[in-house]
Amino acid sequence: EIVLTQSPGTLSLSPGERATLSCRASQTISSNSLAWYQQTPGQAPRLLIYGASSRATGIPDRFSGSGSGTDFTLTISRLEPEDFAVYYCQQRGSSPLYTFGQGTKLEIK
């Protein structure tokens, strides 16, 4: 089973700053299989990035994804108030079919 480890657990930043979130896989994974989600309290997750670097429909261009192999990054170039949320990475494997990281909470400093 591939384990995804996200860091940091909590990230405290101010609006306008740049956020860099990390997702590390326990073994090499295909970039095609890596996705990022945003979840705000009481809401369902929202797909931000798929295929490691492709923005989902309607996602602002301040969100970008990068990485390959075992190390992947979600970057938010300039934080807006609505960006403070929990972020999850996810990969599609074989067994289990999908796994999620434990999440990074992005909070207002």
Partner 1 sequence: EVQLLESGGGLVQPGGSLGLSCAASGFTFSSYAMSWVRQAPGKGLEWVSGTGTSAGDTQYADSVKGRFTISRDNSKNTLHLQMNSLRAEDTAVYYCAKRGGSGTYGFDIWGQGTMVTVSS
Beta bridge mates, 22: 7, 73
Q: In this chain, which stretch among 16-24, 29-37, 68-76, 77-85 interacts with partner 1, using CB under 8 A?
A: 29-37
* 49 makes contact with partner 1 (CB under 8 A): yes
Among 11, 50, 63, 72, binds partner 1 (CB under 8 A): 50
Strand bridging mode 10-13 / 54-55:
unpaired
* 105 makes contact with partner 1 (CB under 8 A): no
Can you tell me the distance from the alpha carbon of 23 to that of 90, in angstroms, rounded to the nearest whole number?
A: 9
Which amino acid, 7?
A: S
Among 2, 13, 45, 73, binds partner 1 (CB under 8 A): 45
Among 11, 83, 99, 106, binds partner 1 (CB under 8 A): 99
Closest distance of CB 9 from partner 1, Å: 11
Can you tell me the distance from the alpha carbon of 65 to that of 88, in angstroms, rounded to the nearest whole number?
A: 12
Dihedral of CA atoms 27, 38, 92, 102 in degrees, nearest 10, equals: 50
Enumerate binding residues for partner 1 (CB under 8 A).
32-33, 35, 37, 39, 44-47, 49-51, 56-57, 88, 90, 92, 95-103
